[in-house]
Chains A and B, each alone.
Chain A
Amino acid sequence: MSAVAARNDDFKAIGVQVLSISVDSIYVHKIWNDNELSKMVGKSVPFPMLSDQDGSVGKLYGIYDEDAGVETRGRFLIDPDGIVQGFEVLTPPVGRNVNETLRQLKAFQLVRESKGTEATPAGWRPGRPTLKPSPDLVGNVWKEWKVEQAND
Chain B
Amino acid sequence: MPEEFKAGCQRPAVKKPPAEAPRNDATGIEPEKERKSSMIKVGKPAPDFTLPAFIDGKFANVSLSEYKGQWVSLCFYPGDFTFV
| Proximity bits, A40-80, B CB within 8 Å = 1, else 0 | 00001011111111101111111100101011111111111
The number of chain B residues touching the other chain, given as a range, is: 35 or more
Q: A36-B81, A48-B2, A49-B55 are in contact. Are A75 and B76 (CB under 8 A)?
A: yes
Q: Are A50 and B53 interface neighbours, CB within 8 A?
A: yes
Given A26-B12, A54-B14, the answer on whether A18 and B80 have CB atoms closer than 8 Å is no
Residue of A nearest to B55 (CB): A48
| Structural contact, B52 and A26, CB atoms closer than 8 A | yes
Number of interface residues of A (CB under 8 A): 71
CA distance A75 to B48 in the complex (A): 15
Residues A51 and B79 in contact in the complex (CB < 8 Å), given A17-B70, A59-B36, A79-B71 = no
Flag B30-68 by CB within 8 Å of A: 1 or 0 each: 000001101111111111110111111101101011011
CB atoms of A19 and B68 under 8 A apart = no
How far in angstroms is the closest Cβ of chain A from B31? 11
Q: Which residue of B lies closest to A44 (CB)?
A: B56
A120 within 8 A of B: no
Q: Give me the interface of A with B, judged by CB distance under 8 Å.
A: 1, 4, 11, 14-33, 36, 44, 46-54, 56-63, 66, 68, 70-87, 92-96, 101, 105, 108-109
A and B contact pairs by CB, cutoff 8 A, 18 listed? A14-B71, A16-B73, A17-B70, A21-B74, A22-B76, A26-B52, A27-B7, A27-B11, A48-B53, A49-B53, A57-B47, A61-B40, A71-B76, A72-B76, A77-B73, A80-B69, A83-B46, A96-B75
